[in-house]
Structure 1
Amino acid sequence: MILFLDFDGVLHPEPCYEEAQLFSCLPRLENVLRDFPEVQIVISSTWRDKRSLIELKAFFSEDIADRIIGTTPAWREIPEIMDTIGYQRHAEIEGWLRKSCRPWINWLAIDDKPYLFKPFLKNLIKTNSPTGFDEQAEGRLRNCLSISSRPI
């Protein structure tokens, strides 16, 4: 399972006016991920545009940072996929999946902007921008991960 992770509006509220609020929701997400050790993480946040993967991993606890395997490509780098998918973040995820040679792998995305994805996408865990990854989002993520980790 791959989890595509946004930052703003997920790991902290958006807007985030105080530096102390940055990554205030990260401990809740990390606690969920510790219960599902098979989940790998790909960063889909625009923070990837200004920071290296090493810099991005530094925000996370070491055990979770070790599970971050990359970042999605920017939509400008994948015009053929963007033209096909039509939704920016969704196209970036599809671009990463194709590049990984594992386009069939199960995946989820946590994001506060559903308009960046195809409507009614079941892979999307939507958060509320002002609260970020809250109790409701945690419940939805746990449910999705529990279903996907059940044996066939």
Structure 2
Amino acid sequence: MILFLDFDGVLHPEPCFDRTQFFCFLPKLEMVLHDFPSVKIVISSTWRENRSLHELRGFFSETIRHRIIGTTPHWRDCAELLEVIGFQRQTEIEAWLRNSPEPWESWIAIDDKSYLFRPFIPNLIKTASAIGFDEVAEMRLRTLLSIS
């Protein structure tokens, strides 16, 4: 299972004017991930656009960072696929999957912007931007990971 992870509105509120609040919900997400050790993580957040994979891994605990296997490409680099899919974040995910060694692997995305995905997509966990990864999102993630 691959988890495509957004940061803003998921791991901290968006907007987040207080830098000390960055990644304030990350411990809650990591608690879930500890219970599902086979889940791999791909960063789909816009933070990937100006930070290296090494820098992105640095936000996570030692026990989780090795499970971060990459970042999605930018939708502008997948223009032909975007024309077919029509939704930016989903295009980025599909492009990453198509270029991975196991393009058929199951996936879940956690994001606060559902308009970047096809409507009613069952493997999207939508968070509220101002709330982030809360108990509802945690329960949904645990449920989806348990049935995969």
Give the TM-score range, shorter chain. over 0.9
Aligned amino acid, residue 5 of structure 1: L
- State how far apart, in whole Å, the 1-side matches of 2:127 and 2:73 are: 22
Gap regions ≥5 residues in structure 1: none
* Equivalent in the alignment of 1:87: 87
- State how far apart, in whole Å, the 1-side matches of 2:92 and 2:117 are: 10
Aligned amino acid, residue 117 of structure 1: F
Structure 1 position 132, deviation (Å): 0.4
* Equivalent in the alignment of 1:105: 105
After the TM superposition, which parts of structure 1 deviate over 3 Å for at least 4 consecutive aligned residues? none
* Equivalent in the alignment of 1:23: 23
- State how far apart, in whole Å, the 2-side matches of 1:98 and 1:63 are: 28
| Equivalences, count | 148
* Equivalent in the alignment of 1:74: 74
Taking every aligned residue pair, what percent have the same amino acid on both sides?
67
- Superposed CA offset, 1:90-141 (max 9, x none): 0000000001032211000000000000000001000010010011100000
SS at match of 2:95: helix
Gap regions ≥5 residues in structure 2: none
- State how far apart, in whole Å, the 2-side matches of 1:73 and 1:39 are: 20
- State how far apart, in whole Å, the 1-side matches of 2:85 and 2:64 are: 30
Q: TM-score of the superposition, structure 2-length normalised?
A: 0.99
Q: Over the residues paired in the alignment, what is the CA RMSD in angstroms? A: 0.6
SS at match of 2:69: strand
**Higher mean C-alpha deviation, range 23-32 or range 75-84:** 75-84
Aligned amino acid, residue 15 of structure 2: P
Q: Tell me whether 1:41 sits opposite 2:16 in the alignment.
A: no
Q: Tell me whether 1:52 sits opposite 2:84 in the alignment.
A: no
- State how far apart, in whole Å, the 2-side matches of 1:58 and 1:101 are: 25
- Superposed CA offset, 1:41-92 (max 9, x none): 0000000000000000000001110000000000011111111100000000
- State how far apart, in whole Å, the 2-side matches of 1:99 and 1:80 are: 15
SS at match of 2:109: strand
